[in-house]
Amino acid sequence: MTDIAPSGSRPQRSPLDRLSHWFQTNWRKIVIAVPFFWLLLFFLAPFFIVAKISLAELRISSPPFTEMIEWTGDGVMTIRLVFDNFIFIMEDSLYVNTYLNSLKISVTSTLICLLFGYPIAYGIVRSGPVAKPVLLFLVILPFWTSFLLRVYAWMGLLSDQGTINNLLIYIGLIDEPIRMLYTEFAVYIGIVYTYLPFMILPLYANMERLDMSLNEAAADLGSKPMNTFFRVTLPLTIPGIVAGSLLVFIPATGEYVIPDLLGGGNVQMIGRVLFNEFSLNTDWPVACAVAVVLLFLLVLPIILFQYFQGKAAEAP
């Protein structure tokens, strides 16, 4: 006699089938979870480690700082948080002036990149189908060479016996070399040259999606070109301006290599202070406090922009 399975029973699925069904049901959640896991692993976890060290005290040991949580001999847990590092940074003029100088250089460099990058991006967008890929290739071409090689090339160009001074002397504009290397001017040159593509590419991506017929419609209605630019084109490209400005401002504020090589130690920026505290002074708590304050200064403009953007979107 053959046994007949009850009509209400279901065939048992293999573990592989169950896994495939679970993946098909939850694949959207998995895709969303991947960037969150990446953010947790490579940003939030290191940030909490740095924040923990910034609240510790310097100690001659390995690692050179006290632990936040310690256990006494009788098994009692003690939590020790020290804010002296942040107080020291805020009261020491060296750190305050370095923060202000870093912000001044990064903001000025960002504005210069915007001044040059905006017309370049606009010109690429308005160029023909043959010239456009060539111009984009020229924008990204510097990325094909080493960053250090490009900085060293500028050292040769800006030195007293470099190409620029020799050319100016040859055409008779100057009689003796102008000191450009190891100055703040050289640092601006290096930062603008390095980060200009980071301004051009977001602006280009934003302008490429613009409806150029809006400019033609404004012209048909009697609007002058300058008025059309400020009332039509510029407001529509604000997202690209903000994206490019953040891509330039954030790394420029913490720049270390360019001020060290082109500034020659004469231009003090926060990246150099971080290096000195970590490597030379071995004062990890102060160095981490410097990094936390720097992160706050970099995140604050983003928070303010999102806040005012949300307010503008809610306005009738």
Query: What is the distance between the alpha carbons of residues 185 and 182, in angstroms, rounded to a whole number?
Result: 8
Query: What is the distance between the alpha carbons of residues 206 and 213, in angstroms, rounded to a whole number?
Result: 16
| CATH superfamily name and code, 92-282 | MetI-like (1.10.3720.10)
- Write the Ramachandran bin of 84: left for phi over 0, alpha for psi from -120 to 50, otherwise beta: alpha
pLDDT of the residue at 9 = 53
Q: What are the tens digits of pLDDT across the range 141-178?
A: 998 989 999 999 999 999 999 999 999 999 988 889 99
Query: What is the distance between the alpha carbons of residues 281 and 129, in angstroms, rounded to a whole number?
Result: 56
pLDDT of the residue at 240 = 93
Q: Is the peptide bond before 239 cis (omega within 30 degrees of 0)?
A: no
pLDDT of the residue at 44 = 84
In angstroms, how far is CA 117 from the centroid of its own chain?
17
Question: Is 79 in contact with 71 (CB distance < 8 Å)?
Answer: no
Which residue, 241, 138, 252, is CA-closest to 191?
A: 252
Find the distance separating the first CA and the last CA of the chain, reported in whole Å.
79
Residues of the chain with pLDDT under 70: 1-19, 21-22, 73, 312-316
pLDDT of the residue at 1 = 46
Cα dist from 68 to 49, 56, 71, 79, 207, whole Å = 11, 6, 10, 6, 50
pLDDT of the residue at 281 = 87
Which tokens is 67 given? 């632990």
Residue 68 in 3-state DSSP?
Answer: coil
Task: Report the sign of the C-alpha dihedral through residues 46, 47, 51, 57, in that order.
Answer: positive
Query: What is the distance between the alpha carbons of residues 189 and 193, in angstroms, rounded to a whole number?
Result: 6
Query: What is the distance between the alpha carbons of residues 46 and 180, in angstroms, rounded to a whole number?
Result: 39
pLDDT of the residue at 59 = 83
Q: Spell out the residues 6+ positions from residue 292 whose beta carbon is closer than 8 angstroms to its own.
A: 50, 51, 54, 86
Could you tell me the pTM of the whole model?
Answer: 0.83
Q: Spell out the residues 6+ positions from residue 42 whose beta carbon is closer than 8 angstroms to its own.
A: none
**Single-letter residue type at 168:** L
276 CB-side CA count, 13 A: 12
Query: What is the distance between the alpha carbons of residues 249 and 110, in angstroms, rounded to a whole number?
Result: 6
Burial class (CB in 10 A: 0-12, 13-18, 19+), 260: middle
